[in-house]
Structure 1
Amino acid sequence: MTNSPALTRTWLPTAAAGFTLVCWASAFVAIRHLGHDVTPGALTIGRLGIAAIVLGIMVYRRPRTWPRGREWPLLIACGVMWFGIYNLALNEAERRIDAGTAAMLIQIGPLLVALLAAVFLDERLTKWLVVGIAIGFTGVAIIALANDQSGDRDLWGVLLTVLAAITYGIGVVCQKPLTRRLHPFEITFLACVIGLLTASPFTGEFVDLVEHGSASSWLWILYLGVFPTALAFSTWAFALTHMDAGRLAITTFLVPVIAIVLAAVLLGETPPALAYVGGVLCVVGVLVSRRRTRVKEPLAAVPADQPVTT
């Protein structure tokens, strides 16, 4: 088909990002459900181990391009932060707070992505980014207050989710330069392996899960390993090859909406009322941070086929 490259540049990256968002939203619900029976370390190893097997098969069946030179530090940072620490922190957090609240808190991640991308990837740093960060972290403070005032919720859960958001932001920014040469499957596979090594101190918990885990728990872990991890991280990496990091990260503001609906239907849980206010502020902060400023210049200085934007 002659329009294949054009299609790749338009709807395919968007579809890949959409698939990722739905899978990631469902992951918050699955993690919350498993938190009653599976420890954070065992869940991390189980999820990443399954994902590594699935991705390993994908990598084996196609021509491979491995990292080299300066790509390794970026890949290691991505694996340790986004796949290792992120999973451990979020798994523990969701034993303390509901899935919807966790999904809302993670929305400060895109703000951090935009800030770090401006510093390290030469994406533009604007006044709107600074304003957006201020609004977003105000939202985090309100969510923390809401959970601190709720008897069945835990402030430590909020802080652990913020830690997960920080490691997510670092991971995305480290991943972006890798997509210029490496295939999404290789990136995600190696990051999963590095994440497994990061979680290796919890191997004892995983052995206990193997010996005593229920069939239901393993089905949920299998789902987490195949869909939100192996497939969704790969489709995210594919989308990242066609969009800048900050613009793609903004799409994740849809995740808490999906997660709240799924948690209400499947778990019968909803965030505390005040947390919705904080969640809205987090989303508004992301939207404001991506606003572009128009710069007025003499018309003669601008080619007729180019818009006047910065």
Structure 2
Amino acid sequence: MNTPNTPHVLPALAVATTIIVWATAFPAIGVALTEMSPLGLASIRFAIAAAFALAWLGYRRPVRMPLADLLVCVLCGWVGAAGYSVLLNMGQTSVSPGAASFLVKTESIWMAMFGVVFLKEAFNRWAWVGTAIGFAGVGVIAYGQPGGIAWGSGAPFVLAAALCSATGFVLQRRLVQRYGALQVSAIMLISAAVALLAWLPQGAVELRAASGEVWLWVLFLGLFPTLIGQFCWTYAIGQYGAARAGNFLYLIAPLAMGLSWLLSREVAGWSTALGGACVLAGVLLVNMRGQTSMLPKPKRATA
């Protein structure tokens, strides 16, 4: 039987768990990449998550999707899950975990811009100012990373990962409303694992030769950020609503930077701190001050 405090405690625990495991993913990837390749790490991570997703689908046996929706869901897995993970791993081979966590936050700006381009939504001046500040922060962060924003350096890969994440979220929004987040997430995880299947033998070889520390972090990545984090986030959205719950995610990047210092003594340079502050400020402006104009303009009534 639920106590009176349960409705308040469980959503708070779900949000806290999501923030912690998603923030820890950035330094965890940094450690795992010291002994594994980007594609090998991604393939192992999604193979672990897909095994649990398959078990869940077999147990719950949810309603089957029509072929058109299933193909969109698979595309979300390829782009928003596999593409995001591979590109983030490639970026973090040279970009620090703290810097990568701030660069990934540009996904919110990409999503807002998708609304302008594809849904004919409008940007007010605050939204444009926020976009400019956010990408200025990207430039400052990239300045302090090896290779800057030149092609082939790490920062463009992380930005491309953020673009993949935003694309996947936009594509899956309608599917989540229709079939539920757990079913959509399970199919995405399985399709991502299938997309990376060709690199699974390579990942297995690398993991067998890896240290015990890397083994633990790879297992953590497969179970916690991908499975538990996603479940807790779905539950939190159901309790708080997407807009309110989404505000908590601004804590991930600062926490990731702090965890990077605790786990690997990574000291953030001035470019990461200043650029990260600009990115967060820009995202906040786009999502809060620009929110009133992020809707289609109303049509004028005719006499």
Larger helix percent:
2
- Pair 1:263 & 2:260 matched: yes
- Size of the alignment, in residue pairs? 289
C-alpha offsets along residues 22-75 of structure 1, whole Å, 9 cap, x if unaligned?
111000011001111011111111111111112322333335133224422431
Per-residue deviation, 1:246: 6.4
The one-letter amino acid of 2:89's match is: N
**Matched position secondary structure for 1:181:** helix
**Contact 2:101 2:256 survives alignment (8 Å):** yes
The one-letter amino acid of 1:269's match is: E
C-alpha offsets along residues 241-295 of structure 1, whole Å, 9 cap, x if unaligned?
5677666544322111111111101101122212211100000011111224799
Structure 1 stretch displaced more, 169-178 or 214-223: 214-223
Q: What pairs up with 1:271-290 in 2 under 5 angstroms?
A: 271-290=268-287
Q: What pairs up with 1:1-310 in 2 under 5 angstroms?
A: 7=7, 15-117=13-115, 125-148=123-146, 156-240=153-237, 248-292=245-289
Structure 1 stretch displaced more, 22-31 or 118-127: 118-127
Q: Distance in 2 between matches of 1:285 and 1:293?
A: 10
Per-residue deviation, 1:207: 3.6
**Contact 1:59 1:185 survives alignment (8 Å):** no
- Structure 1: 5+ residue stretches without partners: 296-310
Per-residue deviation, 1:148: 4.5
**Matched position secondary structure for 2:94:** coil
**Contact 2:98 2:272 survives alignment (8 Å):** no
C-alpha offsets along residues 86-120 of structure 1, whole Å, 9 cap, x if unaligned?
11111121121211111111111111123335655
Structure 1 stretch displaced more, 237-246 or 261-270: 237-246
Distance 1:232 1:273, change over 3 A: same
Distance 1:182 1:119, change over 3 A: farther
Per-residue deviation, 1:15: 4.5
Q: Distance in 1 between matches of 2:100 and 2:229?
A: 19
Per-residue deviation, 1:201: 3.5
Query: TM-score when scaled to structure 2?
Result: 0.83
Distance 1:288 1:82, change over 3 A: same
Per-residue deviation, 1:204: 4.0
Query: TM-score when scaled to structure 1?
Result: 0.81
Q: Distance in 2 between matches of 1:29 and 1:120?
A: 35
User: What percentage of residue pairs aligned between the two structures are identical?
Assistant: 26
Q: Distance in 1 between matches of 2:237 and 2:119?
A: 13
**Contact 2:27 2:256 survives alignment (8 Å):** yes
- Structure 2: 5+ residue stretches without partners: 293-303
